[in-house]
A and B are shown apart, each in its own frame.
Chain A
Amino acid sequence: MLNTFLLTIDRFSMAVGHAFAWCILILTLGTSYEVFMRYVLNEPTSWAFDMSYILYGALFIMSGAYALSRNAHVRGDIFYRLMPPRVQGSLELVLYFLFFYPGVTALIIAGYGYATDSFGYKEVSVNSPVGVPIWQLKALIPAAGVMLFIQGIAQVIRCILCIRDGQWPAQLHDVEELETALLQAKRDEADTDAKEGAR
């Protein structure tokens, strides 16, 4: 039951993260188009600069919860990784309330005020005469805060399950860093070898 709830939140964060991840492809193609227009056709676009930071900003801010669900945010794990899972879980459970929720809650409050102000006068970018609206980018700050808040609930459940079961619950799998995938493949191979040997 808790596990289903946890995975539902993970899937939600992943779906949003995956959706915003595609910004990178638009960013690549859009910026290349600008370079092409400038050098080949000698007609620089008026929107490329604003587009580039809007896509970049949206990409990273909305992937924050996804990265959290996949344990991609860096931690100094020099002692952490030596602890048994139950200790890790109990410690993290406390730390989520002390060092995660205050910041994330403040981000929602702060971002909400910041975005409504900006929306109030339909703020546009000053970088070009086109006047690209940027209030929608500011509105992503409280949205990202809410995403993190929700993902935080999943992380807290993870800690509770870990304390109950003595091991971390399984994660969703979408894609791994190449080195992680290769090292895992090597370990699996070694496990199979060991089993064959035992037989």
Chain B
Amino acid sequence: MSNPELAILMLGLFVFIILLGFPIAFTLMAMGVAFGFYAYYTPGQDFFDNRVYYLLSQNTFSIMNNDVLTAVPLFLFMGYMIERSNILDRLFYSIEVALRKVPGSMAVATLVTCALFATATGIVGAVVTLMGLLALPAMLRAGYDHKLASGVICAGGTLGILIPPSIMLIVYAATSAVSVVKLYAAALLPGFLLAGLYVIYVVVLTTLNPKLAPKLPEAKVKVPLYKVALLLLQAFFPLAILILSVLGAILFGLATPSEAAAIGALGAMVLAVAYRAFSWQRLKEAVFLTARTSAMVCWLFVGSWTFSSVFSYLGGEGLIKEFVMSLDLNTITFLLLSQLIIFILGWPLEWSEIIIIFIPIFLPLLSHFGVDPLFFGVLVALNLQTSFLTPPMAMSAYYLKGIAPKFLHLATIFKGCLPFLSMVFVAMAAIYIFPQLVYWLPEVFYGN
């Protein structure tokens, strides 16, 4: 039954309920069931014979045996284990010492530490708060500019959802049917590009204006080379090797993402043991948090797939397509408009909701505008960095504010985030102008 008016009502009602703040997964499920019951109803049918029940159980089960999403709890577990392995302070110290001669050394070290740790854990909030306790006081003591110090922590910590192996890319792959492996290869260079832009920005800024980042005292800079190597060997290399082997196994096709994630989780437990941080209590915490967060992500899928099958059965998808066609957009205006919408959705919503619920609305339009879902995915992944950094709802800034000393105002943190926010847009423009940044690695690894 096609009933586009009903589909519009469905979408409108859903947006309204989201704004009321009710758990989204169940709202989607209930609305899918209710509208589906009406849509599939045939007169004289028994209450229990409606096809919506079959649709619901079929959708639920297809999430349960989805071999892409299997990697989600495994990567979460790896992240929660690394979070609890006491590695961060050693990691920060070793990188700080290694980079001591670079202008703005502590800020650059913070960026690198955040990027590496966030890539390994994939949990933004934890990175920002931990670094807020560790790197922020150190930078403030050294007389660093408050805006710069808070900006690097917020921006660096957010990189974890972008740089592979990231959970967000798995979720996008499950939504769009793009291969995870290709998406990882495609997002790698843009991820490094953004991290590189951040570092260049800090180095240039502190070279031009050394007052923002006072040089460290002579005594601290004079560390013998063998000691630097030893420090790096203790913290930087183990974590870097863990990430690289997980990512390498995936990219070279040695293991599926889930298998690589399992090895990564095992490696994280080994790391925790090696740093004498492994305990029954911490293992339990990681296990329970993994269950909770997996339930959050995957139930969102259950609700969303049910909702969207009913929505397109009612003709909602076709209606949106018709509407977008009537706007007479070309590829670039379509991309600009879609990214603007995602940018704005990023204020009130989190990446999981945006990718699982709203990206499916854009996906059927891509082929019409000749946009590769792979390319679109990388653009979205870059764009969602902004949802953590854009006032007034910047989650990263709030995490940092919650942990920072009182004299560091929220406005200062927001101002500190702004230059990094503009780097995100630069990176998005760069991959639009040079699409090879996205396509080159997948082509090298997997041909066309």
Select A91's contact among B20, B52, B297, B298, beta carbons within 8 Å. Answer: B20
Count how many chain B residues have C-beta atoms less than 8 Å from C-beta atoms of the other chain: 85
**Interface residues as binary, B32-69 with A (CB distance below 8 Å gives 1, 0 otherwise):** 11100100000000001000111011101101111101
Provide the residues of chain B in CB contact with A22, threshold 8 Å. 287
Most chain A CB within 10 A, of B37, B53, B399, is at B53
CB distance from A145 to the nearest CB of B (A): 9
Within 8 A of B (CB), among A134-188: 134, 137-138, 140-141, 148, 174-175, 177-180, 182-183, 186-187
Most chain A CB within 10 A, of B48, B57, B123, B300, is at B57
Within 8 A of B (CB), among A91-107: 91-92, 95, 98-104, 106-107
Provide the residues of chain B in CB contact with A6, threshold 8 Å. none
Provide the residues of chain B in CB contact with A138, threshold 8 Å. 57, 61
Provide the residues of chain A in CB contact with B284, threshold 8 Å. 175
Most chain A CB within 10 A, of B30, B254, B349, is at B30
> Is A70 an interface position by the 8 A CB rule?
yes
Say yes or no: A74 contacts B26, CB within 8 Å. no
Say yes or no: B128 contacts A177, CB within 8 Å. no
Known: A53-B67, A179-B128. A64 touches B74 (CB 8 A): no
* A61 to B298 alpha-carbon distance, docked (Å): 8
Say yes or no: A79 contacts B57, CB within 8 Å. no
Say yes or no: B73 contacts A56, CB within 8 Å. yes
> Is A9 an interface position by the 8 A CB rule?
no
> Is B217 an interface position by the 8 A CB rule?
no
The tally of CB-CB contacts under 8 A between chains A and B is 256
CB distance from B171 to the nearest CB of A (A): 13
> Is B126 an interface position by the 8 A CB rule?
yes
Provide the residues of chain B in CB contact with A35, threshold 8 Å. 255, 259, 262-263
Select B294's contact among A54, A63, A102, A183, beta carbons within 8 Å. Answer: A63
Which single residue of chain A is at the shortest CB-CB distance from B26?
A: A100
Known: A27-B262, A73-B296. A59 touches B73 (CB 8 A): yes
CB distance from B188 to the nearest CB of A (A): 22
Say yes or no: B54 contacts A78, CB within 8 Å. no
* A95 to B22 alpha-carbon distance, docked (Å): 7
Known: A99-B27, A141-B61. A106 touches B33 (CB 8 A): yes
Q: List 5 A-B contacts (CB under 8 A).
A: A24-B265, A24-B287, A57-B61, A103-B31, A106-B56
| Chain B interface residues toward A at CB < 8 A | 17-34, 37, 48, 52-54, 56-58, 60-61, 63-67, 69-70, 72-74, 77, 83-84, 123, 125-126, 128-130, 133, 254-255, 258-259, 262-263, 265-266, 269, 283-285, 287-300, 303, 347-350, 352-353, 393, 399, 402-403
